[in-house]
């Protein structure tokens, strides 16, 4: 890559998760000009899935979808001079790099493949299935500076797929914090693919349906000073506006300091401006030295899980639920090995005088967990099936319970930077050690900024859903969830920042009672970010609640009613 060039770097994204749209790589390569194409395949749950794959086959552990996509598109990328950077290496980046080399040789393409390693700390965490440090972007940068066409990584931060190419292209030093922070936030917007172009967007109803059917994947034009423009290829579906970018900036973040291994980006410094149709400029981003430790995601097998959903139809729903619950409780208590953790939830989907049987029915979910598979398999299956002719009228279940499936638990731990031997393995086999940051700073919480004056007292209000004035996006970080809430006018912000306190948040979402809830204020985005600690238990793989990744927690909040000034409605 050419160093110190004033030309912006066009970085696209073709995957937001393992299983994303297969054709996206081809669409991005053929839809317009690109310099680098990234693919994000990893999440906490993905690392667990890949860990289980590796137990069966030591040569596995990477996202095989990426290799199949590349079989169709490697020639296109080579022809167009587009470099590919991906974390699809998962638990085995060296294995995927070898597979890409074999593919290139078979296709007759002179492609230089490098990879990044050093994130795997499983050996230092006994009992873990996979323990991986979140590395930064300078290993990727080293590979690209030495001429790699394809760079495969394991567990790097999602934003590193953008900061690495940008640092290589512009020659940024590890202490160019403002520039790196700008690239981190651009990378954070790109990492979830079409969530930046209208996918999963709170105000989707304001757009014509045809625009939402197949959103195009996003790209960022990164400039030498770290500013960026988020956009998409012309003619693709979806849309990019300040709302879609705001939503993604709030996704799976916490306070004003967004920490990573290369830099801590200040979310409270971000300025967003329209830069033309489907173009949003991100500038003003300030960066600080990274924290002194690296985050390590540790996945362990937690035991076995099973569930059964009883269908309750028609009259006396509560009484039917009480009967079968009492019967199952007695049966499980008498079983040879009963499950250690038993949870019930009655989901009232029924309606009175319903025109169809399905609309007349509610679901009573029973979820059990135990270290012993027999306790969640045989015990639950026997107890549920034996009630078929001996319980409430209309007894049936959605599906008979099976043997029980293993579930994982996730936790974050932190280690010094030097504990992960960050290494760039170049296309010619040379190994380049990536030095840890020289300067670090302890991650202190930013004090809440001054708030604007609240709306004048005495204004007329109307009881209405919060979502009539506010957007939201929510997600998971281990056992915690975040809910980012934003509004689109200064007047709405004056109301929201005073109205939606932690106490009001808990009132609107009673599941958060008893849990620690932290509120972070981001005035430049007209946004509040709430972090709810422990609501997801041991993480997504444990399936602790109905919505195990908190993807719809924000939409539940938007559906809750409160007194809203009529002027905002």
- pLDDT the model gives residue 30: 98
Quick one: what percent of the chain has pLDDT higher than 70?
Answer: 99
Domain range summary for the chain, segments of one domain joined by +: 9-290+412-433, 298-403, 461-568
Task: Write the pLDDT tens digit of every residue in 101-121.
Answer: 999 999 999 999 999 999 999
Is the separation of the CB atoms in 148 and 113 below 8 Å?
yes
| 42-46: average pLDDT | 89
Q: Please state which CATH class domain 298-403 belongs to.
A: alpha beta
pLDDT reading at 36 higher than 90: yes
| 548-567: average pLDDT | 95
Give residue 431's pLDDT band: very low, low, confident or very high (50, 70, 90).
Answer: very high
User: 10 forms bridges with which residues in the sheet?
Assistant: 221
Residue 445's contacts (CB-CB under 8 Å, 6 or more residues apart) are 255, 257
**CA triple 44-49-55, angle to 5 deg:** 130
Task: Write the pLDDT tens digit of every residue in 58-82.
Answer: 999 999 999 999 999 999 999 999 9
Nearest to 512 by CA among 535, 481, 494: 535
DSSP letter (8 states) at residue 123: G
Is the separation of the CB atoms in 241 and 277 below 8 Å?
no
Beta strand pairing status for 257-259 and 264-266? Answer: antiparallel
Other beta carbons less than 10 A from residue 195's beta carbon: 22
Task: Write the pLDDT tens digit of every residue in 296-310.
Answer: 999 998 899 999 999
| Two tokens, residue 482 | 């975040």
Alpha-carbon torsion (248, 250, 252, 256), positive or negative: positive
Nearest to 43 by CA among 531, 534, 419, 478: 478
| 51-57: average pLDDT | 89
CA dist., res. 13 & res. 16, Å (int): 8
Please give the mean pLDDT across all residues of the chain: 95
Q: Is 104 left (phi over 0), alpha (psi -120 to 50) or beta?
A: alpha
| 470-484: average pLDDT | 94
**E strands, 293-444, in order:** 293-313, 341-347, 361-370, 396-397, 405-416, 423-425, 431-433
Task: Write the pLDDT tens digit of every residue in 366-407.
Answer: 999 999 998 898 888 888 999 999 999 999 999 888 888 888
- pLDDT the model gives residue 6: 67
Task: Write the pLDDT tens digit of every residue in 436-466.
Answer: 999 999 999 899 999 999 988 888 999 999 9
- pLDDT the model gives residue 555: 97
Task: Write the pLDDT tens digit of every residue in 258-291.
Answer: 999 999 999 999 999 999 999 999 999 999 999 9
Rg value, the chain, Cα: 25
Burial class, 225, CB count within 10 angstroms (exposed 0-12 / middle 13-18 / buried 19+): middle
- pLDDT the model gives residue 329: 94
Task: Write the pLDDT tens digit of every residue in 118-170.
Answer: 999 999 999 999 999 999 999 999 999 999 999 999 999 999 999 999 999 99
| Two tokens, residue 273 | 């401006």
- Look at the chain and count its residues: 569
Burial class, 393, CB count within 10 angstroms (exposed 0-12 / middle 13-18 / buried 19+): exposed
Task: Write the pLDDT tens digit of every residue in 220-247.
Answer: 999 999 999 999 999 999 999 999 999 9
Task: Write the pLDDT tens digit of every residue in 480-523.
Answer: 999 999 999 999 999 999 999 999 999 999 999 999 999 999 99
Give residue 540's pLDDT band: very low, low, confident or very high (50, 70, 90).
Answer: confident
- pLDDT the model gives residue 405: 87
What 3-state class would DSSP assign to 446?
Answer: coil
Give residue 93's pLDDT band: very low, low, confident or very high (50, 70, 90).
Answer: very high
pLDDT reading at 5 higher than 70: no
How far lies 559's CA from each of 470, 491, 509, in Å? 10, 21, 10
- pLDDT the model gives residue 335: 81
The structure's pTM equals 0.93
Instruction: Give the per-residue SS3 of 193-251.
Output: HHHHCCCCCCCHHHCCHHHHCCECCEEEEECCCCCEEEEECCCCECCCCHHHHHHHHHC
Give residue 3's pLDDT band: very low, low, confident or very high (50, 70, 90).
Answer: very low
pLDDT reading at 248 higher than 50: yes
């Amino acid at each position: 890559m050419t160093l110190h060039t004033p030309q912006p770097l066009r970085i696209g994204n073709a995957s937001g998760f393992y299983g994303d749209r297969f054709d996206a790589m081809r669409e991005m390569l053929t839809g317009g000009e690109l310099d680098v194409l990234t693919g994000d395949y990893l999440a906490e749950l993905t690392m667990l899935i890949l860990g289980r794959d590796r137990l069966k086959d030591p040569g596995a552990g990477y996202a095989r979808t990426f290799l199949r996509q590349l079989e169709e598109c490697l020639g296109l990328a080579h022809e167009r001079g587009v470099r590919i950077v991906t974390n699809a290496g998962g638990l085995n980046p060296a294995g995927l790099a070898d597979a890409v080399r074999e593919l290139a040789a078979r296709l007759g393409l002179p492609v230089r493949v490098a990879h990044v390693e050093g994130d795997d700390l499983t050996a230092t965490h006994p009992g873990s299935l996979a323990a991986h440090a979140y590395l930064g972007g300078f290993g990727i940068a080293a590979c690209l500076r030495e001429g790699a066409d394809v760079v495969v990584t394991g567990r790097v931060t999602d934003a590193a797929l953008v900061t690495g190419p940008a640092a290589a292209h512009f020659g940024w030093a590890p202490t160019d914090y403002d520039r790196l922070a700008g690239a981190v936030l651009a990378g954070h917007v790109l990492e979830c693919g079409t969530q930046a172009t209208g996918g999963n967007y709170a105000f989707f109803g304001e757009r014509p349906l045809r625009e939402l059917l197949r959103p195009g994947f996003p790209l960022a034009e990164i400039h030498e000073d770290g500013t960026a423009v988020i956009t998409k290829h012309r003619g693709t579906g979806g849309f990019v506006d300040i709302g879609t970018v705001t939503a993604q900036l709030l996704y799976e973040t916490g306070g004003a300091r967004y920490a990573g291994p290369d830099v801590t980006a200040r979310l409270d410094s971000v300025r967003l401006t329209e830069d033309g149709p489907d173009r949003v400029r991100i500038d003003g981003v300030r960066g600080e030295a990274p924290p002194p430790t690296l985050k390590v995601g540790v996945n362990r097998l937690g035991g076995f899980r099973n569930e059964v959903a009883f269908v309750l139809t028609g009259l006396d729903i509560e009484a039917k639920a009480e009967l079968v619950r009492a019967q199952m409780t007695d049966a499980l208590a008498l079983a040879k090995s009963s499950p250690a953790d038993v949870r019930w939830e009655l989901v009232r989907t029924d309606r009175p005088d319903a025109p169809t049987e399905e609309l007349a029915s509610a679901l009573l979910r029973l979820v059990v967990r135990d270290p012993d598979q027999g306790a969640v398999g045989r015990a639950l299956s026997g107890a549920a099936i034996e009630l078929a002719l001996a319980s409430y009228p209309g007894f049936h279940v959605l599906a008979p319970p099976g043997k029980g499936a293993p579930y994982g638990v996730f936790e974050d731990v932190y280690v010094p930077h030097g504990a992960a031997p960050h290494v760039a393995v170049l296309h010619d086999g040379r190994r380049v050690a990536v030095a840890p940051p020289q300067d670090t700073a302890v991650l202190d919480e930013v004090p809440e900024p001054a708030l604007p004056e609240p709306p004048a007292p005495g204004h007329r209000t109307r009881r209405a859903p919060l979502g009539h004035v506010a957007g939201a996006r929510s997600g998971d970080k281990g056992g915690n969830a975040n809910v980012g809430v934003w509004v689109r006018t200064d007047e709405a912000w004056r109301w929201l920042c005073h109205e939606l306190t932690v106490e009001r948040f808990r009132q609107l979402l009673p599941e958060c009672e008893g849990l620690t809830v932290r509120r972070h204020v981001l005035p430049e985005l007209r946004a509040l970010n709430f972090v709810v600690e422990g609501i997801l238990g041991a993480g997504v793989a444990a399936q602790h609640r109905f919505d195990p990744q908190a993807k719809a927690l924000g939409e539940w909040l938007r559906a809750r009613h409160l007194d809203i000034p009529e002027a905002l409605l």
